[in-house]
Structure 1
Amino acid sequence: MSKLKSFESLKTANELKDYLSNVLKYHQPKAYFHYTKLSNVIKIYESGTFKATQIKNMNDRLEKDFASDCKEFYTCLMGSVVENFGMWAMYGGIGTHLFSNENKTDDAYVKIKIPADKLKEFISESTTVCMRSIAYTNFNSQIKKDKKPSIIRCGTCENKETINIFDDCLHGFVKDNAWSYEKEVRLVSQNEFIDISSILNTFTVIPSPNNSIQECKMIFKKLKCNTTLKCEPRFEENDYYNLVINNK
């Protein structure tokens, strides 16, 4: 594997694209996370697939205006193991409480934990799916062509070169700083459904940190009692919730 150029030294749009396409082969967190509803998790375990979407159907208006013609399909993951309340809030689940109503479990929000080494192995063996990191910058500064260069960030790295992030080759690679809390990594496919059945048994389902132990049990019961799943789910309580409980 050839050496990856440092992020700080990138000077062109094509160099930035190449970096974002390959950096995860060299540097990865311990796990990736996919935030969603329990009803969607059941569909994932029933079908053995992630349902991917195109940029024109995603929630970032700036990226849609910038790259809506992109034909690729994406499943978005968070590339950080640190608990992220912004992600829970954006995807609706931080305030969801079930109490004793088991009928509400479909609306419960959870995150799927995917071991990075298993996902890396899956990608290396796939001929139809790849994985890329996302860079963040100030879109407004680039649009106005401010004299002060707009800093481009990826993880903890910064690039202060004048790279044109509106170059066609960067469609699906760059988002505005406003979304940087997502620490996004994308599974990229030419198809709407990504077959992840070969690594599904390595996934772990984790409830929102605001769900009580009793609510967690209801969520796990709802998923485990479904008889049409491809494999038996693994469960994990939310570390943040346990941290709160243990410090009371």
Structure 2
Amino acid sequence: MHLDHGHDHHGAVSADAHRPDGSRRALRIGLGGPVGSGKTATVAALCRELRDTLSLAVVTNDIYTREDAEFLLRNAVLPPERIQAVETGACPHTAIRDDISANLEAVEDLEEAVGPLDLILVESGGDNLTATFSKGLVDAQIFVIDVAGGDDIPRKGGPGVTTADLLVVNKTDLAPYVGSDLERMARDAKEQRGDLPVAFTSLRGENGVAPVADWVRAQLAAWTA
């Protein structure tokens, strides 16, 4: 998603950076991607990496369950009061792009309950390559794909792949076993995305989420500058 308000696309931007009381609200970053790409695992890893230095919270979206939120709770990545679950009742993209009211309410409730917050991660339920976030909900979007889905995904494109502020190619450790060519994926992603960044990750490795965490820190630095 390009957040084009006349700013550099690599920095977080928003038309409304403040709460009603005039204080700066939290930076909101959305994570989307196909089912099984590793969105929830990425959120969990980011929470572990950032929780000691940032005040953060998470909103998850599932169609009829709270499974993603329960995963985060089971793994104790954040205190329970910092994790909110939204049951969308329909395709997840509707709750992050079309009718964002439930997610906005969850975000605002978290800021009221446990704020002030530096960062809120909003995770979409698993969707297809067209899932994008409303600019009214998040300030920047991460789109997660994985090598097991096929190394032709970057070439095929779609709004999530081509316009997300950060594209994450996850599960790189599986590439030799599923016949995915990481160099080809990198070339195709570059052709589709131009100067927009791409991060290759393997969350099984030590500090595997580091490229994504570094990008989030850069967005937060731009947000608070």
- The TM-score, its normalising length taken from structure 1, stands at 0.27
- The TM-score, its normalising length taken from structure 2, stands at 0.29
Larger CA Rg, structure 1 vs 2? 1
Larger relative contact order (Cα-Cα within 8 Å, sequence gap ≥ 6): 1
